[in-house]
Chains A and B, each alone.
Chain A
Amino acid sequence: MDMFESIVQTLTDGRTQQLLLCLLGCILVTVGPKILPITFLESSALPPIFRRWLDFVPVAVMAALVGSEIFFYDGVFNLSTTNLFLMVSIPSFVVALISKNYFLPIAVGIGLLILARHYGLT
């Protein structure tokens, strides 16, 4: 009964209610965009130009993600050799081009980063 009361007390606490309200809003704007198009778009009914456009979305979204991950190190734009992500991305990129493999470039990149940090680079 004490536990029940403490849960009720937590739920009626103003700060917790505020948190739950924030959570509800954020769940809606996260899950909504994920499920709505895939659930309701009928791919066969899409206009050809939109389908063609969607054909370029995967490559574009991945390029956008790669760019914003590897050109910024510790949150700062960094084009120098102190950006270890950028430095290990060069050999990883070459390995990806040559091997056309999914695992090998990841292993090479992480391996080189571990080595670099082991030898004192940050």
Chain B
Amino acid sequence: MSTASTSHALEGIRRAIPIVLGYLPVGFAFGVLAVKNGIPHGIAIAMSFLMFSGSGQLMFVSMWAAGASALSMTCAVGIVNLRYLLQSAAESVWMGGLSRSIRFLLGLGISDETFAVHVTALQKGWERNLITLFTCNHVAQLGWIAGTVLGVFCGDLVSDVRPLGLDYALPAMFLALLVLQCISRLHAFCAILTLVLSVGLKYAGMTSWNIALATILGASVGCMLSFRETRGNGHV
């Protein structure tokens, strides 16, 4: 491997480090819960390969434990995962000129976290690099799978992960990226509005819909205001 591609791969790993730190304890928790609720070891691990979605997989376990039907589980997980539709569309804007199969493979690697780091880097002017994108996506997913395997087979090894503080790794990462995302006053306003909406909807009991709905509403207001702003500037 040339030094250039090594450094691109290293950049991908650097991006994935906080994600992996956060995924290990959550993946571990998923593995423990899955086994406790009667999901076979192999299927729990396969889920981390094939779904790669923390909220979706945890919802799967709790609904399976509650004896829900396949249809209601599919609908519930589908609603929680609506946000991927938005993320995938937003990432597609930056993936022009790539072949369909490459974009398909990049789509498989989308999670809240990988989406957030890539789009933030691209908005800051990072020149897109496929080695970095794929390295980050797959290292992150390996972390997720490793956490699951540990939880499935060594669930009784760690009784409490809270003293390690790793349950805050992903919230902290989103916070850091959110600050970097606020590239204009309008973006910052959009962030505050969406945050309040998301918290309000979750508080009102919409724990599955809140992310997708708040995002759609917040982005729409931001978009409308930005057209107004450009029109206003046009008159000056």
Contacts and interface: CB of A to CB of B under 8 A. Distances in A.
Interface of A: 10, 16, 18-23, 25-31, 33-44, 46, 49, 51-72, 77, 85, 88-89, 92-93, 96-97, 100-106, 109-111, 113-114, 117-118, 122
Given A30-B81, A35-B88, A60-B218, A44 B176 contact: no
A38 B64 contact: no
Contacts of A100: 179-180
Contact of B106 (A20, A38, A104): A38
Nearest to A104: B176
A109 B168 contact: yes
A64 B78 contact: no
B70 interface: yes
Contacts, number: 282
Contacts of A113: 165, 168
Interface residues on B, range: 35 or more
A65 B211 contact: yes
B219 A62 contact: no
Interface in B40-80: 40, 43, 46-47, 50-53, 56, 60, 64, 68, 70-71, 73-75, 77-78
B43 to A, nearest CB: 7
A36 B49 CA distance: 19
A64 B214 contact: yes
24 contacts: A22-B73, A23-B47, A23-B60, A29-B75, A35-B104, A36-B85, A36-B107, A38-B104, A56-B190, A56-B218, A56-B222, A56-B223, A60-B214, A63-B195, A65-B198, A85-B168, A89-B172, A92-B175, A93-B179, A102-B18, A102-B117, A102-B176, A106-B173, A117-B165
Contacts of B88: 33-38
Contact of B179 (A37, A42, A96, A117): A96
Contacts of B119: 58
A62 B226 contact: no
A39 B194 contact: no
A16 B41 CA distance: 13
B219 A57 contact: yes
Given A22-B64, A34-B107, A38-B106, A62 B90 contact: no
A27 B190 contact: no
A102 B196 CA distance: 24
B74 A63 contact: no
B89 A41 contact: yes
A117 B175 contact: no
A64 B93 contact: no
Contacts of B117: 102
B197 interface: yes
Interface stretch (B1-9, B95-103, B146-154): B95-103
A59 B210 contact: no
B165 A53 contact: no
B236 interface: no
Given A21-B70, A30-B53, A118-B163, A38 B198 contact: no
B175 A31 contact: no
Contacts of A89: 171-172, 175
Looking at A22, A27, A60, A70, the one whose CB has the most chain B CB atoms below 10 A away is: A60
A57 B219 CA distance: 5
B175 A33 contact: no
